[in-house]
Amino acid sequence: MREYLALGGAIMAIALLGVSHWQAYRAGAASERSATLSRSVEVLRERNATDDQIRNLDDAGLCRALGGRVSDDGACI
């Protein structure tokens, strides 16, 4: 009889550890999804800010913003 109680206790402990592990995994996965979504929103905001900065540049301004320089004939070099 004691063997059955010990076996039952061991099975119960393994089941509880399994459930605990599964819940921790799901919490970690949800946290990771949330972090990825937050980073995506941040990147989109940065992109919009960059778009706003370059939207009104003329060709020469865009050339300079990209690290080039404008020659006398107006070509970006």
Q: Which two tokens stand for residue 50?
A: 């960059």
3-state secondary structure of 70: strand
3-state secondary structure of 30: helix
Give pLDDT, residue 19.
92
Of 51, 46, 49, the closest CA to residue 62 belongs to 51
Helix (H) and strand (E) counts in the chain: 2, 0
- Contact (CB, 8 A) for 64 and 70: yes
Per-residue pLDDT of the chain (77 residues; tens, 9 = 90+): 788 888 888 999 999 999 999 999 999 999 999 999 999 999 999 999 888 888 889 888 889 888 999 888 888 88
Q: Is this structure's pTM higher than 0.85? A: no
Q: Which two tokens stand for residue 48?
A: 């919009």
